[in-house]
């Protein structure tokens, strides 16, 4: 049982380049999330998908787009990377939206934008 | 937004010590989560609780809904407990504390 699989683990981009972070879960969870983690700050929600077919902005959505491809997969796209997007990104999933079911996290993607 | 405060920010303990990490929040919630992030970066869910107390091995989590406060206790701490412990509270979306970095020395 793989849980939440997130790729890639590391990525270095130049300013202006684009990339897509991939995330897949095999727990039949309804809700999926993308967070970023920066030093000295708590995890911050970028986008979420409460259920298949829906996506919504979180706390820090600017510069990102998402796609809920199907119930399993939720991708995060940076269209034109900026140094401010240097961060560690985590995908997560839960059975239900709203914080009332446990979160399962991927192993993270360390992104550096130069 | 629910403000989540954790204390202490950093904690060093000797192996075998009893450890307490605190979490306070500003707005009433339906659930509180404790997470563990190891130096390798992965995050795992330890507890989700809405009242009372939960225990798993040497870890105990308590919550006082009226006081808007939760504690995570580690009994007989071990170097492998060294990690960042994160509190998160339910709401529109989960609101996360900044974490408590714990180092347990042999």
Residues 63..82 of A with a Cβ closer than 8 Å to B: which?
Answer: none
Q: Which of B94, B95, B101 should one mutate to test binding to chain A, selecting the residue with the greatest count of A CBs within 10 A?
A: B94
**CA angle, corner A85, sides to A83 and A91, nearest 5?**
155
CB of A5 within 8 Å of any CB in chain B? no
User: Across the interface, do B33 and A103 touch by the CB < 8 Å criterion?
Assistant: yes
Which SS3 state, helix, strand or coil, does residue B41 take?
coil
CA of A35, closest CA in chain B: separation in Å? 11
Is B36 in contact with B84 (CB distance < 8 Å)?
A: yes
CA of A43, closest CA in chain B: separation in Å? 6
Q: What is the pLDDT of residue B3?
A: 86
Average pLDDT over residues B73-95: 93
Which residues on adjacent β-strands are paired with residue A43?
none
Q: What is the pLDDT of residue A1?
A: 63
**Phi, psi angle pair for A83, to nearest 5°:** -55, -30
Cβ atoms < 10 Å from Cβ of A63: 14
Question: Rounded distance, CA A32 to CA A3, Å?
Answer: 12
Count interface pairs A-B at CB distance under 8 A: 61
Q: What is the pLDDT of residue A29?
A: 96
Question: Rounded distance, CA A55 to CA A52, Å?
Answer: 8
The pLDDT tens digits for A59-101 are 999 999 999 999 999 999 999 999 999 999 999 999 988 888 9
Question: Rounded distance, CA A34 to CA A32, Å?
Answer: 7
The pLDDT tens digits for A8-65 are 999 999 999 999 999 999 999 999 999 999 988 889 999 999 999 999 999 999 999 9
User: Across the interface, do A102 and B45 touch by the CB < 8 Å criterion?
Assistant: yes
Cβ atoms < 10 Å from Cβ of A53: 9
User: Across the interface, do A100 and B93 touch by the CB < 8 Å criterion?
Assistant: no
Q: What is the pLDDT of residue B73?
A: 98
Average pLDDT over residues A105-109: 96
CB of A50 within 8 Å of any CB in chain B? no
pLDDT at A2 over 90: no
Question: Rounded distance, CA B63 to CA B52, Å?
Answer: 6
């Amino acid at each position: 049982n793989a849980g939440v699989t997130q790729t890639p683990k590391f990525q270095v981009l130049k300013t202006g380049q684009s990339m897509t972070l991939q995330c897949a879960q095999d727990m039949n969870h309804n809700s999926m999330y993308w967070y970023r983690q920066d030093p000295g700050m708590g995890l911050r929600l970028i986008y979420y998908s409460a259920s298949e077919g829906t996506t919504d902005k979180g706390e820090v959505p600017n510069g990102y787009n998402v796609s809920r491809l199907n119930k399993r997969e939720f991708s995060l796209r940076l269209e034109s990377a900026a140094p401010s997007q240097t961060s560690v990104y985590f995908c997560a999933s839960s059975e239900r939206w709203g914080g009332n079911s446990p979160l399962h996290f991927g192993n993270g993607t360390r992104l550096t934008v130069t | 937004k629910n403000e989540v405060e954790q204390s202490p920010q950093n904690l060093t303990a000797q192996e075998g010590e009893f450890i307490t990490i605190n979490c306070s929040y500003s707005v009433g919630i339906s659930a509180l989560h404790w997470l563990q992030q190891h130096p390798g970066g992965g995050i795992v869910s330890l507890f989700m609780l809405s009242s009372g107390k939960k225990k798993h091995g040497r870890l105990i989590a308590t919550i006082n809904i009226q006081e808007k406060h939760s504690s995570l206790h580690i009994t007989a701490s071990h170097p492998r407990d060294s990690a960042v412990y994160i509190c998160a509270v339910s709401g529109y979306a989960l609101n996360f504390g900044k974490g408590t970095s714990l180092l347990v020395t042999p």
